[in-house]
Each structure stands twice: as C-alpha cells, then as structure tokens.
Structure 1
C-alpha cells in the first residue's frame, strides 16, 4: 500500500526535472487517459506512447520543458489524487500556467492507470501558437 511520503517523493521528480525517475515507477503498459478535447487528449495504452505524445511534445515548445509542482495530494489505499501546477514559459514568451489533476492508481508501488485533467483551452493555445 502506498503512503503519502512515497507519493510525495515520486511526484517531486516532476518538479525538479527528473521525469525519467518518475517514469521508472510507471508500468510499461499503463493506461493513461488525458481528458479533454485538445491535441494531447486521448487514452494511451503504454508508457512510451503517453510520453511521446504529451511530455515530449510539450518539451519542444516550453522553454523549461514540462515542470509540474505538486499543490495537494489525497491518498486512499493505492489511489492518489494529485493536484499540480505548471509554471512554464512557451517559446513565444507567453506564460503556460496550467493546472492539473491526476487520479493515479498504484499496484505494488507502480503506477498502472491514470486519469489526467488539464486546462484544455490553454493546451490548445500553447500548441497552436508554438508548434511549427
């Protein structure tokens, strides 16, 4: 069973730019659904597909890359609800101050399923204005 300290330590890697360490704790066959109607939305059925279509895509248009700061964690058994914010700058110099809520399911301390909620309009805008 997960404890709050483990979850905090794991997600701290997304704030410090160590997303590789974070993703070592994500199952290769994770089911990751990004809610919304923007270009990153959809259900990804493995870790590589999720990373390539979301994190890598955003890393190309955000000066600092994807940096997520945890604001709140709620934990019950092996389910965590993690609220985060992104304070980044897009290549065009405009702020990308997004908010996120991930509902994360763990099995044996490994993330096996995620439902991610994000500001769809802001994602659409930053992609439209910065992708070439």
Structure 2
C-alpha cells in the first residue's frame, strides 16, 4: 500500500467512525452498524462480558442487546480521541445513559479496531469492568 493509499484509507475510516458515533449520539444508529458479519470482538479484562465473540450476531446477541435491555436511556458517546493508522482505528470515548432502575450509568472506553474494506474485522474493547459489572448484575434485561 502506498502512502497515498494509506492516507485515503485513514480518511475513509475516520469519516466512517465519526459518522457512526454521530448517529449513535443522535439515537439513529451506531458503531455496530460497521461490524463485519465475521468480526472478532474481544472484551479484554475480567468483566462479566469479557471473552472473545466470534461474529457480529454472537456479539450483538450476547452483549449489546442485553446491555441495551438494561437501559431506559441508551448510551450517548463523547469521543475524547480518535486515531487512525491505515486500517487501524483507536477510539477513546466516554458514554453515559440511564438504566431501567433510574440509576445513571457512565463508563470510559478504548476500542482498538482493525478495519477491512470499511468494516470492523477485529476489535479489542477496554472499559471499567467494575462499573459495567455493577450495572450487569443490578439490572435484569
């Protein structure tokens, strides 16, 4: 890949991520729209959801849908930093919402993505597992 090609890929990936996060913030879509069907999503650490998810369907069914079912007001993100390097994207962001029991939820995330043709092929997610586990255990979907 030439330097010009790499720059074009970075510009495309940055735009895709910025637009996906804007849709997420507006409640009209989100970053999961960018997942490849065969994505490998790894939640790093020791949270109740930490493991490797093989495929978009597994990740959405086992993590995102149960998480959203615990919320009365879905997460709204604020990007702190977005870094691109070819097909690698790092998104450092805060997100907050309100759980079904009325208690606010807030967390800080760092996602490391490997893109393929404008889709997320591999992801590694880091976040405060104590805050996540507290919500996951307190509120039933």
What is the TM-score when the length of structure 1 is the normalising length? Answer: 0.89
1:10 maps to 2:27:
no
How many residue pairs end up in the alignment?
131
1:119 maps to 2:128:
yes
Aligned to 1:75: 84
Aligned to 1:31: 40
Q: In 2, are the aligned partners of 1:2 and 1:106 still within 8 Å (CA)?
A: no
Aligned to 1:92: 101
Q: For residues 76 and 47 of structure 2, what CA distance do their matches in structure 1 show?
A: 19
Q: SS in structure 2 opposite 1:131?
A: coil
Decide which structure has greater helix share.
2
Deviations 1:58-103 (A, max 9, x none): 1111111343332220111111100121111112222111111100
Q: For residues 85 and 119 of structure 2, what CA distance do their matches in structure 1 show?
A: 15
What is the TM-score when the length of structure 2 is the normalising length? Answer: 0.84
The structure whose Rg is larger is: 2
Q: In 2, are the aligned partners of 1:87 and 1:97 still within 8 Å (CA)?
A: yes
Q: Which runs of 5+ in 1 are unaligned?
A: none
Q: Which runs of 5+ in 2 are unaligned?
A: 1-8
Q: For residues 45 and 55 of structure 2, what CA distance do their matches in structure 1 show?
A: 19
Q: SS in structure 2 opposite 1:41?
A: coil
Q: In 2, are the aligned partners of 1:88 and 1:96 still within 8 Å (CA)?
A: yes
Q: Once the 2 structures are TM-superposed, how far is the Cα of residue 47 of structure 1 from its aligned partner? A: 0.2
Task: Give the alignment's Cα RMSD to 1 decimal.
Answer: 1.7
